[in-house]
Structure 1
Amino acid sequence: MRVLLVEDDEMIGESLSDALQDEAYIVDWVKDGRQAILTLKVQPYDIVLLDLGLPEVDGMGVLNTIRHAQIKTPVLIITARDEVKDRIAGLDSGADDYVVKPFELGEVFARMRVLIRRAQGQADNLLIVGNVQLDTTHKRVIMDDSPVDLTAKEYMLLNIFMLSPEKVMSKTELEDSLYGWGGEVESNAVEFLIHSLRKKIGQQRIKNVRGLGWYISNSN
């Protein structure tokens, strides 16, 4: 899952970015509204965490601009503005949810899961493909009623596949979802991850379409 964090406060931004990465999110962090708009026009994200009190263009301006541009990425406002009129204005401008600072990280993560799940048409936080189950709330994978131990990157890769079973994902799409800005990506990193994941959930579960990419199959 790739997150755009839009926050100009260094301390809040750093702590939130670190916490999101600990939760197996890929985080890109920008510190002003203009950069947020430019980024959202060229890079897809699963969700945006948006402060309102931003330099260059404030959060409301960001919301209005991206919604007019038909960018439908879920937006969770995270702000110190706690008056009802501010919440109403944010939601009416296109935000999907609103959290007031100071906040509990657990609540932020829960609200993120709801918005991402809703955008992807998922009924709950349990993904099931064949004999593999992935619990996105607790970051657990079960296969044939037994737990499967995955690395953080293996978990992220499996999550990407299981959100769209039978859909072929290209190497570029997978790299964009698995690695943030500034991250060094070796040429065979995706292939290596797929190889290691196949060893844990079965060679035939993840299939290759030569020249196009990979997908997770509902059948063994």
Structure 2
Amino acid sequence: MRLLLVEDDIQLAESLTEILEAQHYVVDTVKDGEAGWCQMQLMDYDLTLLDVTLPYLDGIQLCQRLRSRGYELPVLMLTARDTSQDKVRGLDSGADAYMVKPFDLSELLAQIRALLRRGNSHSSVMLSWENLSLDPSTYEVSYDQQPLRLTPKEFSILELLMRNGRRVLSRAFILESLWSMKRPPDEETVKAHIKSLRNKLKTSGAPKTLIETVHGVGYRLQGP
């Protein structure tokens, strides 16, 4: 899942990004409303966390622009303004939820999960490929009922492959899908993660060709 955080408080943005990435989300961060608008036109996001008080274009105006242009992605508004009137303005501008700073992190994460389920009903469905099973809601993976211990990025790569089946995914596509645009590694990083993932699958009894390399193109799952 790819999230856009529009927040001008640098320290808060960095803390939230670290927390969200630990939950397997890919997070892009911008510091003002106009930059947020530009970013939303560049990338497809599953959800945006939007501060209300922003330079150039505030959160209310940005949300109104999104809805007037037909954008339906979930918007979770984050603000220090806590009056009923402020909340009404935020929700009437098109926000799906409204949280007041300082907020409880567990509540924030639960709200994000709820909005993502609402916008992507397929996202929490158990995935399977032959004897391989992956549960997006619990981050559990098993092969032939034997659990696999994967790093967050290995899990994300495997989930991406399972969601795309026999479609070949290039390294560039994997990078774009699973890494922040501000800190993208080179394609050799994808190759290293694939190698580690293959080794763990093989140790669990999976065929070493389960993740197939299509030379000069990318990777896909081999099977049914």
* Interval of TM-score (by shorter of Structure 1 and Structure 2): 0.7 to 0.9
Mapped to 2, the partners of 1:217 and 1:114 lie a distance apart of 33
Q: Kindly indicate whether the alpha-carbon contact (under 8 Å) linking 1:129 and 1:217 is maintained by their aligned counterparts in 2.
A: no
Provide the aligned length of Structure 1 versus Structure 2. 219
Task: List alignment gaps of at least 5 residues for structure 1.
Answer: none
Q: What is the correspondence of 1:105-120 to structure 2 with a 5 Å cutoff?
A: 105-120=105-120
Give the TM-score taking structure 1 as reference length: 0.83
Mapped to 2, the partners of 1:72 and 1:217 lie a distance apart of 35
Shift of residue 207, structure 1, vs aligned partner: 4.0
Mapped to 1, the partners of 2:88 and 2:164 lie a distance apart of 34
- Structure 1 pair 86–117 and aligned structure 2 pair: CA distance change class (3 A): same
Q: What is the correspondence of 1:24-173 to structure 2 with a 5 Å cutoff?
A: 24-122=24-122, 124=124, 126-173=126-173
Mapped to 1, the partners of 2:217 and 2:70 lie a distance apart of 28
Mapped to 2, the partners of 1:117 and 1:218 lie a distance apart of 29
Q: What's the secondary structure of 1:190's corresponding residue?
A: helix
Specify which of 208, 211, 215 is matched with residue 206 of structure 1: 211
Moved more, 196-205 or 148-157: 196-205
Mapped to 1, the partners of 2:128 and 2:84 lie a distance apart of 39
% identity of equivalent residues: 38
Q: Deviations over 1:70-102 (max 9, x none)?
A: 333322212223333433433333323222222
Mapped to 1, the partners of 2:162 and 2:87 lie a distance apart of 34
Mapped to 1, the partners of 2:87 and 2:114 lie a distance apart of 18
Shift of residue 37, structure 1, vs aligned partner: 0.6
Shift of residue 58, structure 1, vs aligned partner: 0.6
Q: Deviations over 1:45-65 (max 9, x none)?
A: 222111111111110111122
- The residue type paired with residue 73 of structure 1 is L
Moved more, 166-175 or 31-40: 166-175
Q: Which has the larger radius of gyration?
A: 2
Moved more, 50-59 or 124-133: 124-133
Q: Kindly indicate whether the alpha-carbon contact (under 8 Å) linking 1:117 and 1:125 is maintained by their aligned counterparts in 2.
A: no
Task: List alignment gaps of at least 5 residues for structure 2.
Answer: none
Matched, 1:23 2:23: yes
